[in-house]
Structure 1
Amino acid sequence: MIATNHNMSPNGTAFIYNAEAPEPTARYAHARVAPASAHQTIYISGIACVQPDGTYAGVTEKADGTYELDVRAQTAAVLSRIEDIIKQASGGKGGLENAIDSVVYLTDMKSQYAGMNEEWNKVFKTRASAPARATIGVSELPDPRFIVEIKMTAVVEM
């Protein structure tokens, strides 16, 4: 059975295949239908844990020069930074609630997916409010301190 949620939210309408099924542990809509009105589409590049001040969230350098990496802290920081990007790019009219599509890149799906998903679910409380999402395991990201990177698209009514 195919179902769609007809309640319009700031990020359009959620389309959920078999909406009557129990809520899964990963919160994401199968698709988002963008609002058919005057809007601005914001395409956010892949964002990692490096902060505007040059620090790295979720990264602790050890005495031997290696790093202790925390996927939960990195995910929370990345989502917070994307929220700021959407707010600034939309002149304060939008935020993560306007996200319609996302791609999450992880360097180790087996050990990092659950922690990333826990942080994701703190931001997106239901599938109906979450963007469509793909999560992809990659062998590496541009910096050895990065273990999660998120790319997102948002639609903001202007």
Structure 2
Amino acid sequence: MSPNGEAFLINPDAPQGQTRFPQARLSPTSTHRTIYISGTACCRPDGTWPGVTENSDGTRTLDIRKQTAAVLENVDNIIKGATDGKGGIHNVIDAVVFILDMETQYAGMNEEWNKVFTTCASAPARATIGVRELPDPRMIVEVKAVAVVEA
């Protein structure tokens, strides 16, 4: 079983689709702690913003792939820090992804997601929501998650 519990798929024998998440995840039956991770962006503790390039004309170039990879790494670091290294990104049981533009950003976000979660059996349950804006103009993706880690 994956560290984030058991995947539930209505039709587990169906071919795996473009996206990597099950219909639901059952939390592990062992003794565990549940961690609720606040909405997390690509910003690093040192103040850097992966996936954000400040152009000489004052505009910004925002890269959904780099930002998504950084967000998932930040979520991993949050879980590791909160559990003294006992857990990580693969303990996420549920996630909500917020992006600014489904048409132009969903595919890139999903490509990075699929690099971390390579199968439906190991991926958390997930919803992706297109939003009008996020808290900082440098943000184009934000992830809120729930993880389950053995105590």
For the criterion TM > 0.5, the same-fold answer is yes
Instruction: Provide the rounded CA distance (Å) in 2 between the counterparts of 1:154 and 1:47.
Output: 14
Query: Where do 1:1-158 residues align within 5 Å?
Result: 8-158=1-151
TM-score, scaled relative to structure 1: 0.94
Of 125-134 and 35-44, more deviation after overlay is shown by: 35-44
Identity %: 65
Instruction: Provide the rounded CA distance (Å) in 1 between the counterparts of 2:127 and 2:10.
Output: 16
Gapped regions of structure 2 (runs ≥ 5): none
> What is the CA deviation profile of residues 20-58 of structure 1, one whole-angstrom value per residue up to 9, with x for unaligned ones?
111011101111100122101000000011111001110
Q: Secondary structure of 1:86's match?
A: helix
Paired residue for 1:5? none
Gapped regions of structure 1 (runs ≥ 5): 1-7
Cα RMSD of the aligned pairs, angstroms, is: 0.7
> What is the CA deviation profile of residues 74-123 of structure 1, one whole-angstrom value per residue up to 9, with x for unaligned ones?
00000001001101101111011111000000000100000000000000
Equivalenced residues, count = 151
